Homo-oligomer: A and B are copies of this chain.
Amino acid sequence: MDTSALATSFGARLPDWVPAELAEVPDVLPTDEDRIRLVNRLAERNHREDTGGPFAALVVETGTGKIVSAGVNLVLSSGLSSTHAEVVALSLAQTRLGAWDLGSPDGPDLELVVNWRTCVMCYGAAMWSGVRRLLIAGDGPELEELTGFDEGPMREDWAEQFGERGIEVVRNVLRDEAVEVLRGYGERDDAVVYNARGASAAH
């Protein structure tokens, strides 16, 4: 075959407002509330800036609260359907640290912080990344009800399955604030639901 038309590389880049916003943030985020407050703010801003859906994620050192990376949903701006906030934050942490395994015994324990329970893709992405803790504002039907996004076929025992792989799950931190971010997106007239054809739209 003629291989000249094939793409041989791909990538994604954060919008400039993300590092600009982070420049205003303290060096460390000591509490779970501090961490969730920031992902909620980034998730809200991501859709208001029209750079993607209302989702953000951080990779943070669990012990110190040092921010290793920040990601937002980039599906619309990168043109890559896998660039959910979690994949972006994990990939940026791995790029910064130069290692695919964020659970290396040589480094500090790292966690993934997200403003809602992961979809089924990011569930696996978190599982394979080496993080040792998943901190989410909430889980439950509000995401699908308020935004129209499909989370995909998750198992009932999804949290226990993390536990069996040595990953702690912490949830229900500033959950109401996270719901308001999702609601704000769902109320937009121009909300784009960029997943499977079978998913119902928000409007």
CB proximity to B under 8 Å, residues A109-156 = 119-125, 127-130, 150, 152-155
Docked-complex contact A2 and B27, CB < 8 angstroms: yes
A79 CB within 8 Å of chain B: yes
A90 CB within 8 Å of chain B: yes
Q: How many residues of A contact B (CB 8 A)?
A: 74
- Bound CA–CA A95/B6 (angstroms): 9
A201 CB within 8 Å of chain B: no
- Bound CA–CA A94/B152 (angstroms): 21
- Bound CA–CA A91/B18 (angstroms): 23
Interface centre among A18, A196, A199 (most CB of B within 10 A): A196
Min CB distance A56 to B, Å, is 14
Known pairs A5-B96, A197-B166; A127 contacts B152 (CB<8 A)? yes
Docked-complex contact A129 and B81, CB < 8 angstroms: yes
Chain B residue with the shortest CB-CB distance to A129: B81
CB proximity to B under 8 Å, residues A65-107 = 67, 69-70, 75-76, 78-82, 87-88, 90-96, 98-103
A22 CB within 8 Å of chain B: yes
Min CB distance A69 to B, Å, is 6
Chain B residue with the shortest CB-CB distance to A16: B8
28 sample A-B contacts, Cβ–Cβ < 8 Å, listed by A number: A1-B27, A3-B22, A6-B70, A7-B69, A8-B18, A10-B11, A10-B95, A11-B12, A78-B100, A79-B95, A79-B98, A80-B94, A81-B128, A82-B87, A82-B90, A82-B129, A120-B120, A120-B124, A120-B127, A121-B123, A121-B127, A123-B124, A127-B195, A128-B152, A154-B155, A165-B197, A165-B199, A166-B198
Interchain residue pairs A-B with the least CB separation, the first 9 = A11-B11, A121-B124, A165-B198, A120-B124, A9-B13, A153-B161, A7-B95, A10-B91, A7-B96
